[in-house]
Amino acid sequence: MRGEITFSQWVPLMEEDCRKCSEDSGIRLPENFSVSQIFGKVAAARKINHPMLQAALALRKKGYTTCILTNNWLDDSAQRGSLAQLLCQLRPHFDFLIESCRIRMAKPDPQIYRFVLDTMKASPSEVVFLDDVGANLKPARDLGMVTILVRDTDTALAELEKVTGVQVTLWVALGRVSCPFSVLGVQDTQQARGGPVQGVRCSLMGLQHAVPEELPVL
């Protein structure tokens, strides 16, 4: 994820580690076990969360600056086109798109959150960070950001609405059919009014790839 090696270089290292762990624990892996196939299925299942993007577009209309923060590897796999297509679809709708492999930092390393703050020219108290992995939220919260754990889209959007004071759920309801994308990171600008949470003017959302937690990252 930090861009130190490519995906194809990482796969054999990962498979060797998995086999060693299985032998040490007395668990037999299937004969056709393949890390590459596992991640290929993950890539094929990856899709945009439409209500989330619609909410981000609504916030941007209100003067918010938006940002995607995503943990990505240097993908040289046969499925690399699907991720590239996804990011190309999202990029025009956000002010910033930050990939871990491009800056050699990854969530939940604290320095990546500082990098984002510098990029967005925001202080931690002005930021709301949304992510679907709890471990990614703790460093952001420790820095002083408001955090939202995204387990259920509707619940997360309701929380985002409370923090920003923008009726994003209304925009989502109006845009469910017409909007082909989904939302991932937000920061409020000088033009927007402050939300109901004192001092909060920014919000940042993290894009995840549903990598199994027991597997190490690049």
How many Cβ atoms from other residues are within 10 Å of residue 131's Cβ? 24
- Could you tell me the residue ranges of all domains in the chain? 44-207
**Tens of pLDDT along 202-218?**
556 665 443 333 333 33
**Tens of pLDDT along 77-111?**
777 777 888 888 999 999 899 999 999 999 999 99
CA 180 centroid distance within chain: 18
Contact 110, 141 (CB under 8 A): no
How many Cβ atoms from other residues are within 10 Å of residue 36's Cβ? 17
Q: What is the pLDDT of residue 138?
A: 96
For 58, phi then psi, to 5°, come to -65, -45
Report which DSSP code applies to 96: E
Q: What is the pLDDT of residue 186?
A: 39
Longest CA–CA span in the chain (Å) reads: 60
Percent of the chain with pLDDT over 90: 32
Query: Nearest-5° angle of CA 87, CA 2, CA 83?
Result: 20
User: What tokens appear for 189 in the block?
Assistant: 């600008």
Domain 44-207, classified CATH 3.40.50.1000, yes or no: yes
How many Cβ atoms from other residues are within 10 Å of residue 40's Cβ? 15
Angle between helices 80-90 and 35-45 (to 10 degrees): 30
Report which DSSP code applies to 129: E
How many Cβ atoms from other residues are within 10 Å of residue 138's Cβ? 13
- The whole-chain average pLDDT of the chain stands at 78
Q: What is the pLDDT of residue 192?
A: 39
Contact 163, 146 (CB under 8 A): yes
- Nearest-Å Rg of the Cα atoms of the chain is 18
The answer to whether the bond into 108 is cis (omega within 30° of 0) is: yes
Q: What is the pLDDT of residue 189?
A: 39
**Tens of pLDDT along 22-56?**
999 998 888 888 888 888 787 777 788 889 998 98
- Of 9-13, 44-48, 67-71, give the lowest mean pLDDT range: 44-48
Of the chain, the end-to-end C-alpha distance in Å amounts to 4
Residue 177 scores a pLDDT above 80 = no
Q: What is the pLDDT of residue 205?
A: 60
Q: What is the pLDDT of residue 170?
A: 67
